[in-house]
């Protein structure tokens, strides 16, 4: 019976390894084949960078939109990433030719528009945000910015992203009128 228990434990460990490593990848392949949304999860500060990079790399101007919409807390981004890290990500985005329209909150500063970014500040008390949300084409990213809760989600689905882009356009228009 000891041999049987050993084999049973080994099979259980192999099942766990399969469930943790291969099964998610097989599900992604299945999602792509059936036109289902693809959802990828990223963890840790390094994972957030990977989520950001993949979002930028997927940029393809579509439907008359030649930019990505972004909504985030500038203060929380500044607290999470160093100046050098933020500059690295900005240069990567600019190098990939991804201009942005940004709604942001900050209690510390007012950001100026630049060649690659149009920005509108919204009141953090009225519109609290603890995520960095971006959308363009068929891609959307959500990055949590709270301390100790660093998770990124990248969603690839044209219908979801079209709806989110519509919400962002509506928010942008309302912010412009303030």
143-154 exposure pattern, b = at least 16 Cβ within 10 A, e = fewer: bbbeeeebbbbb
Could you tell me which residues are beta bridge partners of residue 133?
71, 142
Chain centroid to CA 20: 22
Chain centroid to CA 118: 19
Residue 77 · residue 52 · CB < 8 Å: no
Residue 115 · residue 130 · CB < 8 Å: no
pLDDT digits (tens, 9 = 90+) for 60-84: 876 667 899 999 999 999 999 999 9
pLDDT digits (tens, 9 = 90+) for 119-142: 999 999 999 999 999 999 899 999
């Amino acid at each position: 019976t000891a041999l049987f228990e050993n084999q049973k434990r080994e099979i259980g460990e192999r099942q766990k390894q399969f469930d943790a490593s291969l099964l998610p990848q097989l599900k992604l392949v299945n999602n792509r084949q059936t036109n289902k949304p693809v959802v990828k999860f990223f963890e840790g500060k390094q994972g957030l960078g990977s989520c950001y990079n993949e979002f930028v790399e997927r940029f393809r101007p579509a439907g008359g939109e030649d930019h990505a919409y972004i909504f985030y807390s500038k203060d929380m981004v500044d607290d999470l990433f160093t100046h050098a890290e933020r500059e690295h990500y900005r240069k990567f985005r600019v190098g990939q030719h991804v201009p942005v329209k940004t709604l942001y909150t900050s209690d510390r500063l007012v950001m100026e528009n630049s060649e690659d970014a149009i920005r509108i500040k919204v009141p953090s008390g009225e519109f609290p945000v603890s995520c960095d949300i971006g959308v363009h084409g068929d891609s959307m990213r959500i990055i949590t910015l709270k301390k100790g809760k660093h998770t990124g989600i990248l969603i690839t689905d044209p219908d979801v992203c079209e709806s989110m882009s519509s919400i962002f356009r509506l928010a942008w228009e309302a912010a412009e009128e303030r």
